[in-house]
Amino acid sequence: MKKRAVYPGSFDPITNGHVDIIQRGLKIFDELVIAVLKNPKKDTLFSSDERVDMIRTIFKETPGVSVTAFHGLLTDFARKNEANVVIRGLRAISDFEYEFQMALMNRKLHPEMETFFLMPNLKYSFLSSNLVKEVFSLRGCLEGLVPAQVETRLRDKFPHKTGLAVKD
């Protein structure tokens, strides 16, 4: 029987930290379902279709990875997809409280589902989608922090069309 896990998130946009977690997850699970949160109440830079599309492009050659948008409860999504493991990345102690609360609420809602924490490479421990957006919008360099496809899409979103640091 194949071991399947769900890796949920906003992925607005996916970063190399997320990619690192997916690669680590694939060493443990046969199938990963990347679940992209579609929340009309949350302001995102990229639409859920754009976020799904970026992740599909990045993993198009990687067996075992599928990408789907979801809304509603994560536990319902996991049940529907016959996965009883959820993967989350832990970068630092600061992530812990939120993740711990979420894992225990999910356990209350779905006692058979486990949350499985993975730590990314240390070089991504400071990285977040929000910082990526801020740095890019202020023309900072994102080298090594996001997949090339993401940088291309970021260029389409911001008027200055470049993420390279500029000198005065």
For 81, the token pair is 């997809």
49 versus 141: smaller Cβ distance to ligand PNS: 49
40 versus 63: smaller Cβ distance to ligand PNS: 40
Binding site for ligand PNS (CB under 6 A): 8-10, 37, 73-74, 102, 105-106
For 122, the token pair is 């240390």
104 versus 141: smaller Cβ distance to ligand PNS: 104
According to DSSP, the residues that pair with 33 across neighbouring strands are 6, 66
Task: Find the shortest distance in angstroms from Cβ 27 to ligand PNS.
Answer: 21
Positions marked catalytic: 18, 42, 91, 129
Tell me which residue has tokens 């906003």.
10
Task: Find the shortest distance in angstroms from Cβ 161 to ligand PNS.
Answer: 27
Task: Find the shortest distance in angstroms from Cβ 80 to ligand PNS.
Answer: 13
Q: Name which of 80, 94, 86 is nearest 21 in CA terms.
A: 86
Q: Name which of 15, 6, 33, 150 is nearest 88 in CA terms.
A: 6
